[in-house]
Chain A
């Protein structure tokens, strides 16, 4: 099917461009918001209001010498940042930005996202392991146990929504919701939304769950030894992952492109930005949790709650069907 192929190709290019752009904008937003929270202006020297600061930073990162520690594993060391960034591009393909505005319209879109987002942890492990650094190793070990743990409640909460919608196709899920907030899935699945957001923080290694790179304990965790673009790719992947989880949350819980007056894609971007802003706010407000607490939150709270939520949902879905 050449039409489908062309669509994917165009989608890939669009995604690659927008991921880069989003990364730059997010860096600026994060620093600006952090600045204002801390009652300072944030970047404001480069460009109007510091808008060009991320660009300058990116140029600096690109210009830096690629440096690898002695006795590190060269192949794995350089593979890790690339591997962290590439799957992210795929994750964007099945995301419905507007009605019919998505690169890859498949029935298993949600599954694709969940499957490929699991790959990210592999790159963290590789990066931490291959850099022959004790902090890196500890960070990698933390990243693996954290990602593996948080994937489960994430999956279960997503599953609850797809039970209600009866589809794993994100576009279908969005279509099942309505224009106004009370028509969105968050009204029927508030607990799932909460669990999803907390797990998403854990999955993307965002504060207060940024244990793998906890700089006061592990200096920089898995990317201690990375500089220049190696670090840049990890950095970009983190922001891209954030966008993905927020987009999925928007599609699943917040009615996707639905909204009054404004066109669909605008609503979608608006909702995603709001969620991202929330994540930024969380980062600059809370202390970091401890590692055992992190796992306790997951295994003792999120997982049982997610399972209960799933059971209750399936019960009601079945009830609705038989009636």
Chain B
């Protein structure tokens, strides 16, 4: 197969040319994205293809890069919290928590117990919303249009609930250093209690419509096998690594907040493929519901914000802190270093999606294009989080 004049390469950009340097004779270089239906935003993947087969793939990032880490250098710690809601629109509260948790660790601030419960409840609700979004979008990647509507039907309820304390629906900035901004009111708690059985009643429908469907099973079984060893080399976390059979969950391994008091399981799957990751996320619905249920029962009365919580003019003490939480996509880590100045000296955001996506080049090699899309979706990418 030779290049025909009709398909002659037009001069590409820096990345295409850099990628094309190692291309095989007669292969087709295809840019998936930055505008492509299955890249969930503005991810761009350059793939070298031989017919339908992917020989090589290279994700190109940076289309949504906002340099949050630089912004952290010009804002004080308390002023930086709104940025955290914008890093990952899927699981904004996870990022909220990672940042305020890191600052609390740095300054040694104790959070009131009720606030811890409120954080767990809202964070888990947000995780459910994130998984629902992933579920719908993933099936859209696989060509099923209807599930996303059912998922959004449920997600809408969640967003309505989260809107009560936070006031927003997507980019929350709800946690504060030393607690949360507002307590959950009666109405909110009642609606959460209503939501739990509702969500449970929906899960069998998800199973019937999608999980058991033979077409879906054939699409994701055996696709994108990630060995635990590869997970380790790439630093993958979250459902990706649990889908590879490693029960690694920050909520259990580096427990924070009130998670040690709660009774929940860490779903894993030995399948290591897209199916394994799918199963893990579906199983996490039930676990999150369990956590929320227990928290509602155990939640004590009291303050939700510590007395003398840091104001925007507050200066963080000297030192460094690293705090990680389990986000919907994996380990969200925030590393802070402070020299005692007005702003933090260095803020490093560890995005789970970033590490998970770096696996893609390796996993997609030799698969066919449709599988590459299925793998990309199974990693659960949120581009703003990857690009930060």
Contact = CB atoms under 8 A, between A and B. Distances in A.
Nearest to B371: A290
A61 B112 CA distance: 61
A287 B143 contact: yes
Contact of A216 (B7, B51, B142): B142
A7 B299 CA distance: 81
Given A132-B7, A134-B30, A290-B371, A38 B218 contact: no
A160 interface: no
B257 interface: no
Given A216-B38, A217-B373, A219-B36, A287 B7 contact: no
B68 interface: no
A269 B153 CA distance: 36
B139 A287 contact: yes
A39 B153 CA distance: 9
Interface string A33-52: 01001111000000000000
A287 B6 contact: no
Contacts of A34: 145-146
Interface string B1-40: 0000011000000000000000000001010000011100
A202 to B, nearest CB: 14
B203 interface: no
Contacts of A292: 52, 368
A214 interface: yes
A315 to B, nearest CB: 32
B191 to A, nearest CB: 20
A207 B144 CA distance: 9
A132 B6 contact: yes
B28 A289 contact: no
A216 B377 CA distance: 11
A283 B144 CA distance: 8
A71 B4 CA distance: 12
B52 A289 contact: no
Nearest to B6: A132
Nearest to A37: B146
A37 B143 CA distance: 16
Given A134-B30, A217-B370, A219-B36, A38 B150 contact: yes
Interface in A279-296: 283-293
B222 to A, nearest CB: 11
A208 interface: yes
A219 B146 CA distance: 18
Contacts of B209: 285
Interface in B114-150: 139-146, 149-150
A138 interface: yes
Contacts of A218: 369
Contacts of B28: 134
B67 interface: no
A216 B374 CA distance: 10
A71 B8 CA distance: 10
Given A71-B6, A293-B218, A284 B370 contact: no
Contact of B368 (A39, A219, A291): A291
A134 B142 contact: no
B133 to A, nearest CB: 16
Contact of B7 (A137, A215, A283): A137
B350 interface: no
A292 B223 CA distance: 13
B370 A287 contact: no
A290 B144 contact: no
A219 B373 CA distance: 12
Interface string B348-370: 00000000000000000000111
A287 B153 contact: no
A100 to B, nearest CB: 42
B216 A217 contact: no
A306 B219 CA distance: 25
A287 B144 contact: yes
Interface in B177-220: 209-210, 213, 215-216, 218-219
Contacts of A216: 37-38, 140-143, 373
Interface in B135-169: 139-146, 149-150, 153
Contacts of A138: 30, 52, 369
Contact of A214 (B6, B145, B146, B370): B370
Given A71-B6, A216-B38, A219-B36, A289 B145 contact: no
Contacts of A225: none
Contacts of A283: 145
A99 interface: no
A98 to B, nearest CB: 36
Interface in A183-242: 207-208, 210, 214-219
A291 B370 contact: yes
Contacts of B143: 207-208, 210, 214, 216, 286-288
A172 interface: no
A313 B21 CA distance: 59
A60 to B, nearest CB: 21
Nearest to B141: A216
A37 B369 CA distance: 29
B369 to A, nearest CB: 5
A151 B368 CA distance: 24
A45 B51 CA distance: 44
Contacts of A210: 143
Given A288-B142, A290-B370, 19 more contacts: A38-B145, A38-B146, A38-B150, A134-B30, A138-B52, A207-B143, A210-B143, A215-B37, A216-B141, A217-B370, A285-B209, A286-B213, A288-B143, A288-B144, A288-B215, A289-B215, A290-B368, A291-B368, A293-B218
14 contacts: A34-B145, A138-B52, A216-B37, A216-B142, A217-B370, A217-B373, A219-B37, A285-B144, A285-B146, A286-B143, A287-B143, A288-B215, A289-B219, A293-B219
